[in-house]
Structure 1
Amino acid sequence: RPNDLIWNYWVNNYLLGKEPPAFDILYWNNDNTRLPAALHGDLLDFFKHNPLTHPGGLEVCGTPIDLQKVNVDSFSVAGMNDHITPWDAVYRSTLLLGGDRRFVLSNSGHVQSILNPPGNPKAHYVESAKMTSDPRAWYYDAKQAEGSWWTEWLGWIQARSGAQRETLMALGNQKYPPQEAAPGTYVRVR
């Protein structure tokens, strides 16, 4: 989507010198991670070679990692038009895990596919219980459902949660008292 994601910013910001308009969904862009250069390089190597795709490809503190041995249930969500995390890559990542796996493909793009609450008239998603090794084959078998995937996730997480209990209205406790009022220095200090 070059017109939406590249050229409109290049023309308006660079050529015309306009400030980009405020966009609440992209507020997270202001969160700088301040990674050291060596860690950034390690992350790039990790993404390029992805040792997690084969058992024992990564060792942590002498323990080889095999994601198939992670036998907890998983619920993965991807966005149909995600330009940062393509949905078929998320699907293949879901296949790396052991346990009961569930994959849902939400309509829309990167952030909007996740921020897709019930009541959104444009919301829908696709899902198939049959997980195949080919994302396109999965998509072909998948059925479309109207509405937000949030209600499906809520049912899924509630089935795996303990009994509900009363919400604590006070923050912290005697051992861990609250440090400061919300939103905290992380948000206020730039």
Structure 2
Amino acid sequence: MSESTMGLFNSPAAARLARSRASRKGVVEGSEMAAMFAWLRSNDLIWNYWVNNYLLGNKPPAFDILAWNADTTRLPAKFHSDLLEIMEKNPYVNAGTMTIRGVPVDLSKVDIGAYVIGGTTDHITPWKSCYATARVFGDDTIFVLANAGHLQSLINPPGAPKAFFASAPSRQADPDEWARTAVRQNGSWWPHWRAWMRERSGESIAAPDQAGSRTHRPLCAAPGEYVLVK
């Protein structure tokens, strides 16, 4: 986290203030979350629209990511506090600092591989920090670096003409050395991930004809009623 802009604001005083403010309201408003992430990349997410939309009077371009960003949701204060604690203690690196149902978490004891993804221009989780996460899971972990930012690195379906990614096991301690030896491939990383999953999965089974079961009935049709609640 220290390599990201967000890490600059991760001080004990800032965490206490954030907890206090959220606990008084019970939630962190979606607008507050959106503003925080926008200020982490102000040139692209604030001043760009200020100039284009306000000063020049142009309409925002039709872009699906902008529609996704506009669909904000509130964050419960307790969950927000838990996230702050993770930032403060970094329990995934510092073994034993977090317990779940009385069991201390120690990722060094996890002996299965993982598929970890980073984005070349991610301003929230820089790719070198993501690579350090891959290293936690051991040498059998595959690290994939997509040529995109925070959200676009994940929402990267096949067919994007400019998409490409690099992949290799996370065995080098130095992320730059990994980047020099990783194999570059054009297109989306999704088919690469699917092939990785198939190697580690059992036989494919047919999807059920309908959702739910006699015990667990579907509540409502997708995407759910919560999207209609204001």
**Structure 2 length as normaliser, TM-score?**
0.71
- 1:32 alignment partner, one of 58, 67, 73: 73
Deviations 1:24-55 (A, max 9, x none): 2244432313321x542442242133122122
Report deviation, 1:117: 2.0
SS in 1 for 2:76: coil
Asked if 1:93 corresponds to 2:133, the answer is yes
Residue 115 in 1 paired to residue 155 in 2? yes
Query: In 2 relative to 1, CA 53–130 (structure 1 residues): closer, same or farther, beyond 3 Å?
Result: closer
Instruction: Give the unaligned 5+ runs of structure 2.
Output: 1-40
- Within the candidate set 145, 170, 182, 1:142 is matched to 182
Farther off after superposition, 68-77 or 6-15? 6-15
Q: 1:17 to 1:47 in 2, by over 3 A?
A: farther
The aligned amino acid for 1:35 is P
Which structure 1 segments of 5+ residues have no match? none
Q: Is the 8 A contact 2:96 2:105 kept in 1?
A: yes
1:50-103 per-position Cα deviation (integer Å, ceiling 9, x unaligned)? 122122222333322101212232111111111121111111111112473110
Contact 2:134 2:170 in 1 (8 A): no
Q: Secondary structure at the match of 1:118?
A: coil
Q: Is the Cα contact below 8 Å between 2:131 and 2:143 reproduced in 1? A: yes
Give the TM-score normalised by the residue count of structure 1. Answer: 0.84
Bigger RCO of structures 1 and 2 (CA < 8 A, at least 6 apart) = 2
Task: Supply the distance in 2 between the matched residues of 1:91 and 1:71 (Cα, whole angstroms).
Answer: 17
In the TM superposition, structure 1's runs of 4+ consecutive aligned residues that sit over 4 Å from their partners are: 12-22
Amino acid at match of 2:225: T
Q: Which has the higher helix share?
A: 2
Q: Which moved more, 1:81-90 or 1:27-36?
A: 27-36
CA distance in 2, matches of 1:54, 1:92: 13
